[in-house]
Structure 1
Amino acid sequence: MSDLLHSEPALVQFSERLTNSAAFATLFREGMDLVEETAAYLDGAGRSEAKALDRSVSLTYATESMRLTTRLMQLASWLLLHRAVKEGEMTLNQANREKTKVKLSAADPSPNDMVGKLPEQLQVLITRSMTLQSKVRRLDVSIHASTAERAAIGNPLVPQMNRLKAAFER
């Protein structure tokens, strides 16, 4: 029975199904749309709004827009990497190796008291990017968790079985 729980092909199929799911397609579109919307804002209205800010807030604007851009670049990289898996351009194992270059925890924003002084549209983009980052992190754990972690996710009996095994090994 233990062999069935840790069977790699079945677990890889689950991970590959996640990248082929409608949820992934929606997340991909959401991410790419946010990247485009943010670029348009920072190149357009954002520039005008930044020029009108006080000096101290202007520094926060520059910092937060750079963090936002970095966060979105990392998220877009992750999404494109997994779209390549979906399209059959690379295997999940290849994506797992490549994703080590992507930092899903990159560029968390400043404290709320500083962000609250920024233009409203930038605040909205930061919030949306953080929401997207949370979604991608959760999906990343589901797709790339270790074999034991995936087995535990798929079978709630695994932790109990591991405790029993440990008890009998004493």
Structure 2
Amino acid sequence: MNDVLMLDAQADDGAISFARGFVRSDAFMLLFREGMGLVEQTAGYLDGEGRQDSAALPRAVALTYATESMRLTTRLMQIASWLLVQRAVAEGEMTAEQARAENNKVRIGEAMVSAIPEEAMRLPPALRELMAHSLRLQERIRHLESQMSGKVSPAEKLNPVQDQLADLQARLGFRR
């Protein structure tokens, strides 16, 4: 099973109920606006102030700047794609099957290893802030995606508190 939105499974599944409700919620719209706003903010920076910042950097740091700005752009395009697909499903413009096909093309992956900390500290502060914001947003979406698909990430599988809560819920007859 893919790490994608699965709306056409059984309606009583908790992950499905969460997914259906979440993509139609105010919380999703806030996330959507945040993600798309970050895309616009980053584009504005890279096309404007970022060009000036990049030109003023020593050659080695300029290479790091170029690498990190490409990683940032790639990450934001993945985020924007995911957000647009979820909004299309919520608005009835796309079926769950179409969403699965789209999400198979572009996945929200693990964060790419960024520059060595010493190198990253030499990057312009505005770029570092955009990178950090995009990484936080990416992690939130990865978490949401796992919740929506009903899959648990390896980190959650290793969480003893989560295991105890699941055990307690099962004993009390609650569905997770």
Runs of 5+ consecutive residues of structure 2 not aligned to the other structure:
1-8, 152-164, 172-176
Q: Please say if residues 74 and 106 of structure 1, whose CA atoms lie closer than 8 Å, have aligned partners that are also in contact.
A: no
Corresponding position: 1:118 with 2:123? yes
User: Residue in 2 aligned with 1:55?
Assistant: 59
1:159–1:110 CA distance, 2 compared to 1 (3 A)? farther
Corresponding residue for residue 132 of structure 1: 137
Q: Distance in 1 between the 2:95 and 2:168 partners?
A: 27
Asked if the contact 2:89–2:96 (Cα under 8 Å) also holds between the matched residues in 1, the reply is: yes
Q: How many residues align?
A: 149
Deviations along 1:60-96, whole A, 9 cap, x unmatched? Answer: 0000000000000000000000000111111234312
Residue from 65, 69, 74 that aligns with 1:70:
74
More displaced, 136-145 or 42-51?
136-145
How high is the TM-score relative to the length of structure 1? Answer: 0.79
Give the alignment's TM-score, normalised by structure 2: 0.76
Q: Which has the larger radius of gyration?
A: 1
The corresponding residue for 1:151 is: none
Cα RMSD for the two superposed structures = 2.4
- Percent of aligned positions that are identical: 47
- Structure 1 pair 48/106, CA: closer, same or farther in 2 (3 Å)? farther
CA distance in 2, matches of 1:22, 1:65: 31
Check 1:107–1:135 CA distance in 2 against 1; reply closer, same or farther (3 A cut): closer
For residues 75 and 42 of structure 1, do their structure 2 counterparts lie closer, same or farther at Cα, with a shift above 3 Å needed?
Answer: same
Aligned twin of 1:46? 50
Distance between the aligned counterparts of 2:52 and 2:83, measured in 1? 31
- Which residue number corresponds to residue 10 of structure 1? 12
The one-letter code of the counterpart of 1:56 is: A
